[in-house]
Amino acid sequence: MEKTSLRGIKFDLMLDTVKRFIREYGNERKFVIGLSGGLDSSVTAWLASMAVGKESVLGLIMPDGDSTPSNDINDARKISDILGINVNLINIDQIIGAYKAKLNPDTRSLGNLKARIRMSILYFYANSKNLLVLGTGDKSEIYLGYYTKYGDGGVDLLPIGDIYKTELREFAYYLGLPESIIKKRSSPRLWQGQLAEDELGVSYEFADRILFRLLEKNDNEKIIINEEGEMAKKVLELYRNSEHKRKMPPIALLQK
């Protein structure tokens, strides 16, 4: 039996589509990607290496001493070793320290700042080496707004942006990623103890079911809430409140 995603999309078709996208969008350019040791960045790096070859992918591991567990660094190195891609480790503690000395940020502001620091470093390498920045956001994160605007949302392309989180875990098994990475609980690691599902207030399994009904089946929101329960309101609220992240900034249009 052929392996398929939760939407019934065959994994071999998913693989071919994403590989072709990376090759065509890159147009013979090379790529840089932030490696966190988590599922999304690991799958994206894996696919990019399959699409354009290990020589065309540079990985950056950018830990900070406050919120990056050592096992995440080890898992990021594990992926780079398996793929055979070049990788640089850049500790961002000193950069964070310089901001903290001037701004005295609260926990959430500091967390978002970390994401934007990492984006800046990725684009430094992209500019200096003529690379494209590979985004690692999946469809669930994009439509729940679970990313930092102009942080991990600041990228050149999103190869897995049409793959739900629950689909991505199954896809990762299909690709053969290490099980320790596939089963790791999702977290941006922007502060100690941060876990995605705890912060969102819903599981990815439930969120994906609601998003699937909303985005793929075009179900009415009232019907979704009636059939799925009050928790569906949380997912729909996250979707609506994050709409600004998925659009270009509004422009005041002048009329003649």
Same domain, 48 and 166: yes
| Structure tokens given for 1 | 């039996």
Residue 79 is encoded by which pair of tokens?
Answer: 């992926």
Per the structure, the complete domain to which residue 216 belongs is given by 201-247
Could you tell me if residue 53 is left (phi over 0), alpha (psi between -120 and 50 degrees) or otherwise beta?
left
Place of tokens 């696919």: 47
Q: What is the mean pLDDT of residues 52-67?
A: 97
Q: Is residue 136 domain-shared with residue 42, that is, in the same domain?
A: yes
Kindly state the percentage of the chain with pLDDT values over 70. 98
Question: Is there a single domain that holds both residue 156 and residue 95?
Answer: yes
The predicted pLDDT at position 2 comes to: 57
pLDDT attached to residue 1? 46
Instruction: Tell me the per-residue pLDDT of 113-165, one tens digit each, with 9 for 90 and over.
Output: 999 999 999 999 999 999 999 999 999 999 999 999 999 999 999 999 999 99
pLDDT-above-90 percentage for the chain: 95
- The per-residue pLDDT for 28 is 86
Residues 65 and 181 in one domain: yes
How far, in Å, CA of 184 to CA of 68, rounded?
14
Q: Reply yes or no on whether the pLDDT at 3 is more than 90.
A: no
Mean pLDDT, residues 56-78: 97
Torsional sign, CA 150, 133, 152, 7: positive
Strand order across the beta sheet in which 86-89 lies:
86-89, 57-61, 30-34, 131-133
Task: Note whether 153 and 78 are same-domain residues.
Answer: yes
> Which residue among 194, 209, 229 closes a domain?
194
CATH code of the domain in which 116 resides:
3.40.50.620
For the chain, percent helix, then strand, then coil, each to nearest 5?
Answer: 55, 10, 35
190 with 205, same domain?
no
pLDDT for 4 = 64
Rounded Cα gap, residues 137 and 193, in angstroms: 21
Domain end among 194, 209, 238: 194
Top pLDDT among 133 and 4 is at 133
Q: How confident is the model at residue 8 (pLDDT cuts 50, 70, 90)?
A: confident
Residues 159 and 223 in one domain: no
Query: For the chain, how many structural domains are there in total?
Result: 2
Let me know if residue 5 belongs to a domain.
Answer: no
Is 256 part of any domain? no
Q: What is the mean pLDDT of residues 65-89?
A: 97
